[in-house]
Structure 1
Amino acid sequence: MITLGRIGRYGFLLLVAAVSLFPLMWMVLSAFKPGGDVIARPFAFDFDQLSWTNFREMVHTIPIGTGLRNTMIVVLVKGALTLLCCPMAGYAFAKFDFAFKRALFGTVLTTLMLPTLVLLIPLLLEMSELGWVNTFPALILPGAVDAFGVFWMRQIIAEIPDELLDAARVDGAGELRIFRSVVLPVIRPGLAALGVLTFINVYNDFVWPVVAVNDTGHQTLQVMLSGLARAAVVGQLGDAASAWGQLLAASTVAAVPVLIVFVLLQRHLIRGVMAGSVKG
């Protein structure tokens, strides 16, 4: 039955959705507008004049293909390390008793409270000593075993009944077999959610890549976008209107992978968040 209250709730949700989606839709449509119209008529759209000009000029301005390739390499390798190590660490903290367990877990949680800027100089000095500056290991290894991922997995695995694990041990299964055959299938929603969150965080990361890498061959997409925005602001690209059109085109290209991942995996993200919202 349709009631006035339900109509009001749905109307409010539609309003919130429209406000949230408007900047994204404006960016995408403006990327296809002529450069002059982006500044002269920012909120006017003539669909007869939409073209791919900004995208063609953007390709010649920055090596966006290289940026996408570098970003995907970092996302895939770093994400794989996160999804491999964090569940194993979470399993150990949730289901094993060992010396200094609480102290170690408390130390892991403490790292969550450290601002990223505090770690930049020590990490950069470490990468320099290892000779990894301007390399993929510098982009991938720091933060691959994320404290939030360990905490997330620990909270989810803690809800698995000990009787289920004990039954597997009685049947002669070793701990690795139990982890692979019993724990992983149970925590699959939470693991999928961690994968989505890791993808978004690594894909959007800017601060560490801009510090660790300064050559174009290893720059990630976010660093290239920042360079393009800086060039547009200071007028290094000549025509200001064309520069902002290229920036909107590059931003649209950069948003596509995140949107695809979210649309395809939003159900797993919601299920994983619900699975992780438990007391451990």
Structure 2
Amino acid sequence: MKPGIGQYTILGVLAIGFLYPIWWAISSSFKPPNDIVTDPLTLSGPTLHNYQAMFADVPIGTGFANTALVLVVKGAMTMVFCPLAGYAFAKFTFPGKNVLFGVVLLTLMLPTLVLIIPLLLEMSALGWVNTYQALILPGSIDAFSIFWMRQTIAAIPTELIDAGRVDGASELGIFVRVVLPVIRPGLAALAVLTTMNVYNDFVWPVVAVNDTEHQTLQVVLSTLAQNITGNRIGSDFTTVWGELLAAGSVAMVPLLVIFVLLQRHFINGILAGSVKG
């Protein structure tokens, strides 16, 4: 049954409702700061002043570089080790497998704030406070990613894996040549989710790092208004709206591009991961 005009109309209204705030933030970042406050719904002459002032006032380039480094290394660890763990839980039989998997699932019930103090004490004991190790290693192999991969791989017919074993392939060879090509949508969805989680992570970076050299993008953005007002005599909060919107727009663009490029794989991966194994 094809969607009717009414359904398209509802979807169109919802799309406008979701996209309008993004459009307003990006378009307003090119407006003079006074116009943003006095006339927020009207477009005025475009200016790059907000972007120029923002780059001069805050080290957003350092935040981008640190976030990119953490994202690449931490994301690579997640994309390598979590599918391997999911493959073991989905297709192998070993003593204590169900108990161990249950323990992994139990960690999903723990709030992030509960783990912060133990993790910080551990980082301090290792001498890793204010280092990239503290930003990368905690959470790089997380319970949700293992669960996601387990559910995705469980949907693969066991006969397909047994056929590879009969042909003499090693377990690693079966994983690389048989499993990975089948779960590509699930991997793409995990890549998008991991990118969003690492890119938007704020609580742990602000706790583990307190120097400007290792600050990630979200930490830099959190101190944006304070840095701007501190660098400009006589400024008040109304004068920094333009720079806040400029910084938010710059930070928003990479995630929008990634989601647009991978949205088809992301949706397919969501559907694949929902299959009960």
TM range (shorter): over 0.9
Aligned Cα RMSD in Å? 1.5
What residue in structure 2 maps to residue 28 of structure 1?
26
Out of 251, 274, 277, the residue aligned to residue 274 of structure 2 is 277
Out of 125, 129, 133, the residue aligned to residue 129 of structure 2 is 133
Q: Percent identity?
A: 62
Equivalent residue pairs, number: 274
Instruction: Establish whether residue 265 from structure 1 lines up as the match of residue 262 from structure 2.
Output: yes
Calculate the TM-score normalised by the size of structure 1: 0.94
Give the whole-Å Cα distance in 1 for the aligned partners of 2:184 and 2:129: 35
Deviation track 1:46-83 (CA, whole Å, cap 9, x = no partner) reads 2xx21000000001111111110100111111110000
What residue in structure 1 maps to residue 15 of structure 2?
17
The SS at the match of 2:223 is helix
Give the whole-Å Cα distance in 1 for the aligned partners of 2:195 and 2:47: 31
What residue in structure 2 maps to residue 38 of structure 1?
36
5+ residue gaps, structure 2: none
Paired residue type of 1:278: V
Give the whole-Å Cα distance in 2 for the aligned partners of 1:64 and 1:74: 15
What residue in structure 2 maps to residue 83 of structure 1?
79
The SS at the match of 2:31 is coil
What residue in structure 2 maps to residue 68 of structure 1?
64
Q: 1:41 Cα deviation (Å)?
A: 1.4
Deviation track 1:148-168 (CA, whole Å, cap 9, x = no partner) reads 110011011111111111111
The SS at the match of 1:239 is coil
The SS at the match of 1:42 is coil
| 1:1-280 alignment runs, 5 A limit | 6-46=4-44, 49-231=45-227, 235-236=229-230, 237=232, 238-240=234-236, 241-280=238-277
5+ residue gaps, structure 1: none
Contact 2:105 2:147 in 1 (8 A): yes
Q: 1:229 Cα deviation (Å)?
A: 3.4
Paired residue type of 1:256: V
The SS at the match of 1:145 is coil
The SS at the match of 1:189 is helix
Q: 1:35 Cα deviation (Å)?
A: 1.2
Paired residue type of 2:161: L
Deviation track 1:194-217 (CA, whole Å, cap 9, x = no partner) reads 001100111011111111111111
The SS at the match of 1:45 is coil
The SS at the match of 2:35 is helix
Calculate the TM-score normalised by the size of structure 2: 0.95
Give the whole-Å Cα distance in 1 for the aligned partners of 2:235 and 2:22: 24
Give the whole-Å Cα distance in 2 for the aligned partners of 1:78 and 1:242: 37
Give the whole-Å Cα distance in 2 for the aligned partners of 1:231 and 1:137: 27
Contact 1:54 1:242 in 2 (8 A): no
